[in-house]
Structure 1
């Protein structure tokens, strides 16, 4: 019996505002929700202009703190993803997987675990020994690497994922192939390039 691997299209958006990247994500999510097929799964790769984003599990952010961050020259967005406040900026690789989990496994817990394993594989390609813990997150020793090297904040609605992974402190052009290799291996998929 031959197992068909899900296809995932890689789209490089370059440097883009968070607002514009969010619109692109929403277009890809709509394609999934309007379609009964397992395509087009997409990995959106980009860098952002300076922006702070806050997830839904955060208490309302004080308006004066939001204004202070904006005064530093960054945008500020409240999002529908999990997680706390996160800075995105030039030189940081951002990866937004927009996947229909029906093409993989209809489990948000499985998806989060696969993202963690992808980060662990990517770290190992940079010589960093990372692991998971009983709680969510990827750790190097006693340090939660998701706060240092990579942040995962996801949203999933009707088993279509959005938001994603942010890598830091490695030139993006060096990080992209390692991320794609780790993602391909962990999600057992075939990448399609534009």
Structure 2
């Protein structure tokens, strides 16, 4: 019974839903399946710790095809799939985020979408209004304009900016939006440190070098599944930001890795540092999507 409880905890800790637990009826010993169903109404009462390695022995070979859960049960770390999108439109990125968010309906399906965008200005859900006339003026600059459901105010995305959209179920990490945003900030601070740049947080969300923002953060979280994310300026053309008040913060500027280091720092050079920092801060295993 104790070993059964360890395995059930593994299922529930990684974010499995009741339908998904039931779907394993033919691949997991009955004692484990039944115990999962019994515990389904007790998720919040379970105390999560490291799953005993001996519990893995209770799962037969037929279950080995579920690589994500198999890995979690052995290491205690969620698996996050890295999806490299390249240069994509903002609309396409929204569509793909929606797709990956919906994957969580049938169980844990953590993903980290990496991309660059064609020039686009986006607004968030904060209260400051953006009249249509202002948005029309921005579109005349050659950039798209989109209203979004993320947090924050207006910002710019474009080539030379590393955009990262984590689509995570926080039930597998920590069910706290505040914690999540702080970990994103710490991830970027770690990336900057790897380049020898001293970056900090401030009362204003994002990551800063002095009074200049180097990374904007704006997220959406519904039922503890995250979308939207962060945008780190690598070798972005910062002139695009001169047409707006970035993130609605008066009297502040923007900067980039290239500006701070006085050399060209590409998105491609930055990605490995971001992935290492993300895996460290979120204590997860990253796996590349098969193309």
Q: Which has the larger radius of gyration?
A: 2
Q: Which residue of 7, 28, 50 maps to 2:79?
A: 7
**How far apart in 1 are the matches of 2:203 and 2:152?**
17
Does structure 2 conserve the Cα–Cα contact (< 8 Å) formed by 1:58 and 1:83? Answer: no
Name the TM-score, length of structure 2 as normaliser.
0.62
Contact 2:119 2:144 in 1 (8 A): yes
Residues 14-23 or 132-141, more deviating: 132-141
CA distance in 1, matches of 2:128, 2:187: 30
- 193, 198, 209: which is aligned to 1:140? 209
- Are 1:23 and 2:95 counterparts? yes
Root-mean-square deviation (CA, aligned residues, Å) is 1.5
CA distance in 2, matches of 1:154, 1:193: 23
Separation in structure 1 between the aligned mates of residue 228 and residue 96 of structure 2, nearest angstrom: 11
Residue correspondences, number: 187
Tell me which of 124, 143, 164 is aligned to 1:74.
143
Are positions 1:155 and 2:196 aligned together?
no
* Corresponding residue for residue 171 of structure 1: 266
Tell me if 1:113 matches 2:182. Answer: yes
Structure 1 position 135, deviation (Å): 5.5
Higher strand proportion (structure 1 or 2):
1
Question: Where does residue 118 of structure 2 map in the other structure?
Answer: 49
Structure 2: runs of 5+ lacking an equivalent: 1-49, 52-74, 236-264
- Specify which structure has the higher proportion of helix: 2
Distance 1:135 1:151 in 2: 10
For the 8 Å contact 2:219–2:227, the answer to whether it is kept is yes
Cα distance change on mapping 1:15 and 1:136 into 2, 3 Å? closer
Q: CA deviation at 1:63?
A: 1.1
